Amino acid sequence: MSDIFKQIIQLAVNSRKILITSHMDPDGDSIGSQLALKDWLESLSAESKILNQGKISSKYLFLDDKKTIESIDEFSEKGYAADLAFVLECPNLERTGKIKKLITDKCKIVNLDHHPDNSSFGYVNYVDTHAGALGEIIYELLSFAGFQLTKNAATRLYAAIITDTGRFSFSNTTFRSLKICSELINYGADPKEINHQIYYNNSESALKLLGFTLQNIKTYNEGKIACMVIKQEDLENFKISAGETEGLVDYSLYLRGAEVGVLFTQKNDSLTKVSLRSQNSFDVSSLARIFGGGGHRNAAGCTIYQDLNSTRDLILQKIEEQFKL
């Protein structure tokens, strides 16, 4: 670990322009990790820019008080001629979406991840599948680099870790997750305030959509599969943006006896996002990989180029097959 960290620090110190990016539609771990990484790079006086494809869910905007995260959708310049790119939480460069084309051959890639399906596409690769969140790895890198964490940086990393570990409740929660978070509290992270901003901050319409979606939950395979659906028209009727549905899939496993939870989100008539959650040994990442997606054993996802009903039939059939193995 320390050799790779030394190499990363060396690269950061010697680079002129640094790009920081993550997967499309970045989640709490991606956002918190990118911002904390930028805090460190600023302390080195390195020029850096955070660029992602997709919008940030409003519940994470408090982490980015200076509005430093830019979206490529609104990015009007020709490009960003970085000589170093930190790519976080991506199994491959395709997961960055349109950012991929900004990363030229002249740009060295530091690939940091905690997903098991990472393809080691970087110049330097640091993939630790035992980390509950990428935020844990960023904390360790920044500590190794001797960076004195500010309250802001601690807040960002704390948010990264609680969102990926389901507030210390998923199977990826470890002694390390809790130890790092206790240290982050020492640096000024405020658990009550951060929880409040992320989880107690829903719009009335988002809560009503949650109610509507739960009302229509369906079970299969004697209750072992819990299935939820969000149609395009539901988002329109409830007047909420797609980003506001992050975390909704977790409710599927609140059902007693449910071993696999799945949320189908209709993007358009021929595109459906599938979010998968599971308990114990049921591996949803292998299922997602069949369809070009990925993730962790108990939390994975993929996007299918088919309509909602065909996607649902296809995925439910695959889950049922996997139960029979």
Q: Which does 228 bind (CB under 5 to 8 A by kind): ligand AMP, Mn ion, none?
A: none
Close Cβ partners of 107 (under 8 Å, ≥ 6 residues apart)? 19, 82, 83, 84, 85
Whether residue 160 contacts residue 29, with contact meaning beta carbons closer than 8 Å, is answered with yes
Angle (CA) 295-292-284 rounded to 5° is: 40
Whether residue 248 contacts residue 257, with contact meaning beta carbons closer than 8 Å, is answered with no
Position of tokens 């139960």? 323
Q: Which does 26 bind (CB under 5 to 8 A by kind): ligand AMP, Mn ion, none?
A: none
- Which helix (H) or strand (E) element contains residue 303? strand 299-304
Footprint on residues 210-239 left by Mn ion (CB under 5 A) = none
* Cβ-count burial 162-191 (b if 16+ within 10 Å, e if not): bbbbbeeebebbeebbeebbebbeebebee
Q: Which is nearer to ligand AMP, 100 or 108 (CB)?
A: 100
Binding stretches for ligand AMP (CB under 6 A)? 23, 91, 95, 249, 275, 293-296, 299-303
Nearest approach, Cβ of 136 to Mn ion (angstroms)?
9
Q: Which is nearer to Mn ion, 60 or 238 (CB)?
A: 60
Q: Which is nearer to Mn ion, 89 or 259 (CB)?
A: 89
Stretch near Mn ion under the rule CB under 5 A, chosen from 28-36, 37-45, 233-241, 286-294? 28-36
Among 29, 113, 136, 140, binds Mn ion (CB under 5 A): 29
Q: Which does 302 bind (CB under 5 to 8 A by kind): ligand AMP, Mn ion, none?
A: ligand AMP
Whether residue 28 contacts residue 163, with contact meaning beta carbons closer than 8 Å, is answered with yes
By CB atoms closer than 10 A (0-12, 13-18, 19+), residue 325 is exposed
Nearest approach, Cβ of 314 to Mn ion (angstroms)?
26
Indicate the angle between helix axes 28-43 and 151-164, nearest 10 degrees.
150
Q: Which does 49 bind (CB under 5 to 8 A by kind): Mn ion, ligand AMP, none?
A: none
Q: Which is nearer to ligand AMP, 157 or 249 (CB)?
A: 249
Footprint on residues 170-199 left by Mn ion (CB under 5 A) = none
Footprint on residues 156-175 left by Mn ion (CB under 5 A) = 164
SS3 76: coil
Q: Which does 315 bind (CB under 5 to 8 A by kind): Mn ion, ligand AMP, none?
A: none
Nearest approach, Cβ of 47 to ligand AMP (angstroms)?
28
Q: Which is nearer to ligand AMP, 41 or 300 (CB)?
A: 300
The answer to whether 117 contacts Mn ion (rule: CB under 5 A) is: no
Close Cβ partners of 142 (under 8 Å, ≥ 6 residues apart)? 36, 37, 40, 149, 153
Q: Which does 29 bind (CB under 5 to 8 A by kind): ligand AMP, Mn ion, none?
A: Mn ion
Q: How far apart are CA 50 and CA 44, in angstroms?
A: 16
Sites of contact with Mn ion (CB under 5 A): 29, 134, 164
